[in-house]
């Protein structure tokens, strides 16, 4: 069965992006042309543009287009930026960043997802595919002008913050009391803090569990 992916992609832009404050013209342009179906398992291609957390296997899911679009809009990537994508999965967000920034490290820890992502990103000369712990980041490529955590975590790890350049930006989903809030932060010297800008459903990423609190 054939699918009109171009029509599905444009429908995604109109119904899932333009209606949710994904309003950076560069982000909208690249998401309206990037073939999202290339970065998901072949049997899931027909769902590539659906408004859902698309199952990728091994408990992992692909982030919502709206969530990815809002994260990239807040980061406001420039053609001079060096970017780390945490939880790159099949490579979709890394490919978007490759079109918006100078260079990208696509970090994934799941072997099958990392293999699929590296293959899908093979045509991008400015993308390095890396496999390792998401929470540990990728120090070999640091410092980064921007880090996008393409999913939700309970807490941001210190290694990721440490790998930001001075003035570097980070966007992620943070789970608080069962609600996921997309947040943006900027590092200034040793200081780093985040500000929430929207509540949004987001794909959960492993390895960022909040330390258990001691109870007397």
Q: What confidence score (pLDDT) does residue 188 get?
A: 95
Instruction: Dump strand ranges (E) for 54-207.
Output: 54-57, 60-62, 82-86, 103-108, 127-131, 144-153, 164-176, 179-188, 191-199
pLDDT tens figures, 44-53: 999 999 999 9
What pLDDT score does 2 carry?
60
**The predicted structure's pLDDT at residue 213:** 56
pLDDT at 208: 92
- In the chain the domains, ranked by start, together with CATH numbers, are 62-199 (3.40.50.150)
The band of 210, judged by pLDDT with boundaries at 50, 70 and 90, is confident
Q: What is the DSSP letter of 214?
A: P
Render pLDDT for 33-67 as a digit per residue (tens, 0 to 9): 999 999 999 999 999 999 999 999 888 999 999 99
pLDDT band at 138 (very low <50, low <70, confident <90, very high): very high
Helices 65-75 and 92-100 pack at an angle, to 10 degrees, of 30
Instruction: Tell me the pLDDT of the chain averaged across its residues.
Output: 94
pLDDT tens digit sequence for 93-117 = 999 999 999 999 999 999 999 999 9
**pLDDT band at 214, cuts 50/70/90?**
very low
C-alpha distances out from residue 172 to 28, 118, 129, Å: 19, 22, 20
Res. 168: pLDDT tops 50: yes
Residue 156's Cβ-count burial label (10 Å; 0-12, 13-18, 19+) is buried
β-strand pairing of 191-199 with 179-188: antiparallel
Where do we find the tokens 């410092």?
Answer: 143
Percentage of the chain beyond pLDDT 90 is 92
pLDDT tops 60 at residue 127: yes
Average pLDDT on 127-147 reads 98
User: Does the pLDDT at position 216 exceed 80?
Assistant: no
Residue with tokens 């069965």: 1
Reported confidence tier of residue 144, pLDDT bands at 50, 70, 90: very high
Q: Taking a C-beta distance cutoff of 8 angstroms, is the pair 176, 67 a contact?
A: no
Model confidence at 123: pLDDT above 70: yes
Beta bridge partners of 187: 192
Is the CB of residue 141 less than 8 Å from the CB of residue 159? no
- Residue pair 161/187 in contact (Cβ under 8 Å)? The answer is yes
Higher pLDDT, 1 or 169: 169
């Amino acid at each position: 069965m054939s699918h009109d992916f171009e029509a599905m992609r444009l429908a995604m832009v109109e119904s899932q992006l333009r209606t949710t404050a994904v309003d950076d013209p560069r982000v909208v342009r690249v998401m309206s042309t990037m073939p999202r179906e290339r970065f998901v398992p072949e049997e899931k291609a027909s769902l590539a543009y659906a408004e859902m957390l698309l199952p990728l296997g091994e408990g992992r899911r692909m982030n919502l287009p709206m969530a990815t679009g809002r994260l990239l809009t807040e980061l406001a990537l420039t053609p001079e930026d060096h970017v780390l994508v945490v939880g790159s999965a099949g490579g979709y967000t890394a490919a978007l960043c490759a079109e918006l920034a100078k260079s990208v490290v696509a970090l994934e820890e799941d072997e099958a997802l990392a293999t699929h992502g590296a293959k899908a990103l093979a045509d991008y000369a400015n993308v390095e595919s890396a496999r390792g712990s998401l929470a540990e980041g990728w120090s070999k490529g640091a410092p980064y002008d921007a880090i996008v955590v393409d999913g939700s975590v309970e807490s941001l790890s210190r290694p990721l913050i440490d790998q930001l350049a001075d003035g570097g930006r980070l966007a992620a989903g943070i789970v608080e009391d069962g609600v996921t809030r997309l947040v943006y932060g900027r590092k200034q010297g040793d200081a780093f803090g985040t500000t929430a800008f929207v509540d949004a459903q987001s794909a959960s990423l492993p390895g960022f569990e909040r330390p258990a609190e001691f109870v007397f």
